[in-house]
Structure 1
Amino acid sequence: MRLAGKRVVVTGGARGIGAAMVRTFAAEGAAVAVLDVLAEEAGKLAAEVGGHAVEVDLADVAATRAATQSAVDALGGVDVLVNNAGILRFAPLLDIEPHEWDEVFAVNVRAMLVTTQVAVTSMVAQRAPAFPGDVVGKVVNTASMGGKAGGAGQAHYAASKAAVIGLTRAAAEELGPLGITATCLCPGYVLTEMGAGTRTDADVARWSARSPLGRLGQPEDVARAALFLASPDSDYLTGEALNVAGGMVTH
């Protein structure tokens, strides 16, 4: 019960990696609120774990701000914010339209800024650090291996995930004195619903060969890493971008 008594908000928690996080956090004692545009799936998962669900389009700034506050209020406060929501788009670099670039950044990066502003404001109001290094709140962001290694055909996605890493590092610098850590996860290839329609068996075999472990990730692999970052076990870790890529990226 590593998160006993903790209140956790998870964006993009209705399915895939986010759903695995929600189940993992709940199993470890956390009260969880799920923010997602997939209202029905989020509601079913919230009911399964005894949590709360809030429907939101994270591309809408005002709606994101209101939904995050609603989730915090439903939990009676917040101890951990997990910014997991993201969208994946494919297009050759020379064909990406500005509106497509903006769409990816709106959900993958800008929404993280808005949710962080709301959640951290609540964290700060709840309790001040009792001593230097006392951790009173945590922000965990989901970036990607693509944010470090790039990726042909997905420049807007890779650039947005590099921005998440940069945002996390800046947040760690600013929020540390407030007793709040900021970290991010960089998953490699993970078999989820996102991108399922674009991958083939040959793709899976080729990607698996890139890992010294010889397999792709599962949502639970990332969820367990998120649990570590959300738990007191990582209290002296901030600003880090933790690879969960089976050795495909090691820097």
Structure 2
Amino acid sequence: MSQRVIVTGGSGGIGAAIVDRFATDGARVAVLDRRAPAGSPASVFVEVDLRDPADTRRAVAEARDVLGGVDVLVNCAGVFQHAPLLDITVEDWDLVLDINARATLVAMQAVAPAMLEAGRGSIVNIASMAAKVGGGGEGHYAASKAAVVALTRAGAQEWGCHGVTVNAVCPGYVLTEMGADTRSEEDVAAWSAKSPLGRLGIPEDVAGVTHFLASPAGGYLTGQAINVTGGMVMH
């Protein structure tokens, strides 16, 4: 039986690569996002406002009903802002934490009962290396991703006895549209030099690890926050 997969933020960037990877493996994939994916192999698209917990729960339930259940949840939706700590407003904080952290919790809560009843399931939360190394110039983003790692570990500890795994992926610098307005060619060169591999990540790098964690091959991993950073972070 093919996997039934829900991906938040699956319409572009890393999320779209994750959708492609699961679909290539024969999975039925539901994308939850603000905008419909362009040319995506997703089985279904559900529009959602992830800042609205009620709408998030409604969208997850709709996707689950269309798929006939859910085996995998990937929380990939996220926003990025670059600002010094002294310039972060309460509105900035709420936006980033609402989408990156609170929506992750709400989506996890929305799928967990069905997974616990079935005695199996996999949740993969996309965090960031900022959760581990801090975030000078992006403190609210780093805080939100650290919260994602904490939620991942809590889910793993609470739900493992029911056969549900919960893991996080911590990408490093991945060239996507998110953050494109704040990076320069000099930035890309400097970041690439931080990796022993000498390059930045691509969305498919993150998608491959995400797919592995939700596959039988990754079935004995839970509560992990796995770096996909080209060696920039090794802990």
TM-score normalised over the length of structure 2: 0.98
Q: Which residue of 1 aligns with 2:99?
A: 107
**Cα distance in 2, alignment partners of residues 137 and 151 from structure 1:** 32
Q: Does 1:89 align with 2:81?
A: yes
**Cα distance in 2, alignment partners of residues 15 and 107 from structure 1:** 16
Shift of 1:124: 2.4
SS at match of 1:152: coil
SS at match of 1:8: strand
Amino acid across the alignment from 1:167: L
SS at match of 2:105: helix
Shift of 1:113: 0.9
Shift of 1:50: 5.0
Shift of 1:237: 0.5
After superposition, give the CA deviation of every residue in 1:135-172 in whole Å (9 maximum; x if it has no partner). Answer: x1000000000000012110000010011111100110
1:213 pairs with one of 171, 187, 197: 197
Shift of 1:122: 1.8
Q: Does 1:144 align with 2:128?
A: yes
Shift of 1:28: 0.7
Structure 1 pair 50/209, CA: closer, same or farther in 2 (3 Å)?
closer
Q: State the 4+ residue runs in structure 1 displaced beyond 2 angstroms.
A: none
Supply the RMSD in Å over aligned alpha carbons.
Answer: 1.0
Shift of 1:25: 0.3
SS at match of 2:136: coil
SS at match of 1:49: coil
Q: Which residue of 1 aligns with 2:23?
A: 26
Q: Is the 8 A contact 2:50 2:56 kept in 1?
A: yes
After superposition, give the CA deviation of every residue in 1:58-107 in whole Å (9 maximum; x if it has no partner). Answer: 01111111001111111000000000111001111011111211111100
Q: Which residue of 2 aligns with 1:173?
A: 157
Q: Which residue of 2 aligns with 1:56?
A: 48
**Cα distance in 2, alignment partners of residues 162 and 50 from structure 1:** 29
**Cα distance in 1, alignment partners of residues 74 and 42 from structure 2:** 18
Gaps of 5+ in 1: 129-135
**Cα distance in 2, alignment partners of residues 69 and 77 from structure 1:** 9
Q: Which residue of 2 aligns with 1:132?
A: none
**Cα distance in 2, alignment partners of residues 92 and 50 from structure 1:** 38
Q: Is the 8 A contact 2:9 2:77 kept in 1?
A: yes
**Cα distance in 2, alignment partners of residues 236 and 6 from structure 1:** 18
SS at match of 1:24: helix
**Cα distance in 1, alignment partners of residues 49 and 184 from structure 2:** 30
Shift of 1:198: 1.3
2:112 pairs with one of 97, 108, 120: 120
Shift of 1:178: 1.2
Q: Is the 8 A contact 2:82 2:137 kept in 1?
A: yes
Amino acid across the alignment from 1:10: V
**Cα distance in 2, alignment partners of residues 13 and 187 from structure 1:** 16
SS at match of 2:205: helix
**Cα distance in 1, alignment partners of residues 149 and 109 from structure 2:** 17
**Cα distance in 1, alignment partners of residues 53 and 178 from structure 2:** 23
Q: Does 1:77 align with 2:69?
A: yes
2:13 pairs with one of 16, 24, 32: 16
After superposition, give the CA deviation of every residue in 1:27-69 in whole Å (9 maximum; x if it has no partner). Answer: 0111000000123xx2x34xx4251000111011111110011
Gaps of 5+ in 2: none
**Cα distance in 1, alignment partners of residues 27 and 41 from structure 2:** 10
Amino acid across the alignment from 2:129: M
SS at match of 2:199: coil
**Cα distance in 1, alignment partners of residues 172 and 5 from structure 2:** 24
